[in-house]
Chain A
Amino acid sequence: MAHLEINSLVKKFAKTKAINGISLKIFDGEMVGIIGKSGAGKSTLMRLINRLIEPTSGSITYNDIEITALKGKNLREWRSECAMIFQQFNLIDRLDVLTNVLSGTLGINFKILKLFKFYNKREKIEALTYLNNFELSDKALQRVDTLSGGQQQRVAIARAMMQNPKILLADEPISSLDPKNSKVVMDDIKRINNQNGITVICNLHSLNIAKQYCDRLIGLSEGKIVFDGNPSSLTNELAEQLYDLENE
């Protein structure tokens, strides 16, 4: 079975070890929640998987291909297979919703004409279909920064889906959202996992939401894995330890 494998991964920022020798396997189709308090290394792990940052040591492989050794076009291909959504959505504020969604194709199928906003008909139809799935097709030509936070995050998910990814990395996708929008976004992410079979790795602050939506939880503390298992096996004692007694 295809899987993402992380071996003895270390990432240092100056003298601080943000990721301290992590090893784990994530299988295709899993929905994994990464939990832990701020500064535990959750976002750093996401960025290392997408190769937005370089590890200090260790390796990441996907289907026996060493991701940490990829360069140039191969690296861009990996990134396009490994979509990412962000806490602050990271959309192109001044552009319309449709162009934002279409920008998801810049990695998998780059053509110079795309720099002048010329996308082919198939891509436009695909983008509109995703927007329709997220109930945003009527906003397609609206400037993206006029949408609510929840709508913007769903545009970001639609953009990620345009990449036809194998893995979806969600870095605190609901941290900037109210409870109602958080539920809508998490439902969408779960649907993508269930219906499209896309592996989801999701950083979450809220333990309740992580337990509700994820098949497997990985608890991080000071860059180390302190828990890896299904949500029901996470004891209150361990949860309190993960969040320094402050959460939930």
Chain B
Amino acid sequence: MSNKLLEKHLSLYSSQLKTRKLWNILVVFLLTISFLISSTIIDFNFSNIVNGVPRLGDYISQILPSLDINLIFENSETEGSIKYWYFNFKKYAFLLYETFNMAVVSTTIGFVLALILSFFSARNITPNIYGYYFVKRFLEFLRGVPEIIYAILFVWALGIGPLAGIMAISIHTTGALGKLFAEVNENVDLKSCEAIRSHGGNWLSEMRYGIIPKVLPNVISYTLLRFEINIRASTVIGFVGAGGIGQELYLVINFNYYEEVSAIILLIIITVIAIDISSSRVRQKIVGEIND
């Protein structure tokens, strides 16, 4: 390469680098400005947080159990023991089990509906372009409304209990998973679909054999992740009477049964961590096996 040409390339490279740096500075500047504007609008400031934190500490110290190290393993009649703190353990365990099952059922319903709808809401494989727009907007509506609002509606319609919670989470899961599955479908290589079409296969055959085997690892991964989210969601929507441990938690908070609040919260945290760990292991195993 001649020196003249080399110099030309170098100067072109330097000018491109300079432009890129200027753009980066502009983007960081705009992000900072938008952060400051947003903070002002919502009255976000650190002094409020600093002033509020001690009050948070007050509440936490109130809900902590009065455990006595010398009496910790005594019976449920003895104040200061774990059994005394967890005198209602059987009830909590049952409600946690109910919460878990709510998440299982609602994730399953949401998964099936989302998978079906995702074939219509992926632009590259939809059988009908109008159907595509309709289903896409429908999924946006389903996930646009928070679960708690659905839960309030279903508690009003179906009465207090887990059924309302299952309906609420199923609907939201359908919307959320439907979008994720559709995006996975849109990124799939369509060679197998083309082959199935070329030997006379219909749209259903194309979806079953051309799409599902390819998207399966991502679909399973997203579903298990959603299951973890739904465990937490099942707890929260209990606050509006949609069953599970959340309903009990709401009750003890309202009645200021402080020690019961901490007992339930600790159980929820342990359950969520256990499910998160086992679910991510299952996810890695299944996805790994499918990819092998």
User: A residues touching B (Cβ–Cβ < 8 Å)?
Assistant: 50, 52, 76-80, 83-84, 86, 88, 90-95, 103-104, 106-108, 110, 112, 114-115, 156, 159-160, 163
Residues A95 and B197 in contact in the complex (CB < 8 Å), given A110-B202, A110-B205, A114-B205: no
Pick from B73-81, B163-171, B208-216, B228-236 the stretch touching chain A. Answer: B208-216
Would B199 and A92 count as touching, CB distance under 8 A?
A: no
Q: Is B191 an interface residue when CB atoms closer than 8 A count as contact? A: yes
Would B200 and A92 count as touching, CB distance under 8 A?
A: no
Would A90 and B191 count as touching, CB distance under 8 A?
A: yes
Would A93 and B200 count as touching, CB distance under 8 A?
A: no
Would B191 and A86 count as touching, CB distance under 8 A?
A: yes
Within B5-48, the residues touching A (CB, 8 Å) are: none
Would B209 and A106 count as touching, CB distance under 8 A?
A: yes
Instruction: List 10 additional A-B contacts (Cβ < 8 Å) besides A52-B197, A110-B201.
Output: A77-B200, A79-B197, A80-B199, A84-B198, A93-B214, A94-B214, A106-B196, A106-B202, A107-B201, A110-B202
Nearest opposing residue in chain B for A90, CB measure? B195
Would A107 and B199 count as touching, CB distance under 8 A?
A: yes
Residue pairs across A and B with Cβ atoms less than 8 A apart, 21 shown, are A52-B198, A78-B200, A79-B198, A83-B198, A86-B191, A86-B194, A86-B195, A91-B195, A92-B192, A92-B209, A92-B210, A93-B192, A93-B213, A106-B196, A106-B201, A107-B205, A108-B200, A112-B204, A159-B199, A163-B199, A163-B200
Shortest CB distance B285–A (Å): 17
Shortest CB distance A30–B (Å): 21
Docked Cα-Cα span, A77 to B200, in Å, equals: 6
* Residues of chain A contacted by B266 (CB below 8 angstroms): none
Docked Cα-Cα span, A91 to B196, in Å, equals: 9
Please give the number of chain B residues whose Cβ is less than 8 angstroms from any Cβ of chain A in the complex: 20
- Which of B191, B195, B205, B209 gathers the greatest number of chain A CB atoms within 10 Å? B195
Shortest CB distance B66–A (Å): 58
Docked Cα-Cα span, A233 to B4, in Å, equals: 54
User: B residues touching A (Cβ–Cβ < 8 Å)?
Assistant: 191-192, 194-202, 204-205, 208-210, 213-214, 216, 290
Would A95 and B191 count as touching, CB distance under 8 A?
A: no
Residue in B200, B213, B214, B216 whose beta carbon sits within 8 Å of that of A106 in the complex: B200
Nearest opposing residue in chain B for A81, CB measure? B200
Residues A107 and B200 in contact in the complex (CB < 8 Å), given A92-B209, A94-B213: yes
Residue in A86, A88, A93, A106 whose beta carbon sits within 8 Å of that of B205 in the complex: A106
- Which of B191, B198, B209 gathers the greatest number of chain A CB atoms within 10 Å? B198
Would B205 and A115 count as touching, CB distance under 8 A?
A: yes
* Residues of chain A contacted by B210 (CB below 8 angstroms): 92
Would B204 and A115 count as touching, CB distance under 8 A?
A: yes
Docked Cα-Cα span, A163 to B179, in Å, equals: 36
Nearest opposing residue in chain A for B217, CB measure? A94
* Residues of chain B contacted by A90 (CB below 8 angstroms): 191-192, 194-195
Residues A79 and B202 in contact in the complex (CB < 8 Å), given A92-B192, A94-B290: no
Nearest opposing residue in chain B for A87, CB measure? B191
Residues A160 and B213 in contact in the complex (CB < 8 Å), given A90-B194, A94-B290, A115-B205: no
* Residues of chain B contacted by A159 (CB below 8 angstroms): 195, 199
* Residues of chain B contacted by A156 (CB below 8 angstroms): 195
Nearest opposing residue in chain B for A112, CB measure? B204
Shortest CB distance B258–A (Å): 54
Nearest opposing residue in chain B for A169, CB measure? B198
* Residues of chain A contacted by B200 (CB below 8 angstroms): 76-80, 106-108, 163
* Residues of chain A contacted by B208 (CB below 8 angstroms): 115
* Residues of chain A contacted by B290 (CB below 8 angstroms): 94
Would A103 and B213 count as touching, CB distance under 8 A?
A: no
* Residues of chain A contacted by B205 (CB below 8 angstroms): 103, 106-107, 110, 114-115
Shortest CB distance A225–B (Å): 24
Docked Cα-Cα span, A160 to B201, in Å, equals: 12
Docked Cα-Cα span, A110 to B205, in Å, equals: 9
Shortest CB distance A8–B (Å): 24
Nearest opposing residue in chain A for B204, CB measure? A115
Shortest CB distance B197–A (Å): 7
Shortest CB distance A126–B (Å): 15
Docked Cα-Cα span, A86 to B214, in Å, equals: 19
Residues A103 and B197 in contact in the complex (CB < 8 Å), given A93-B192, A94-B290: no
Would B198 and A103 count as touching, CB distance under 8 A?
A: no
Shortest CB distance B237–A (Å): 35
Docked Cα-Cα span, A239 to B90, in Å, equals: 86
Would B191 and A94 count as touching, CB distance under 8 A?
A: no
Shortest CB distance B218–A (Å): 12
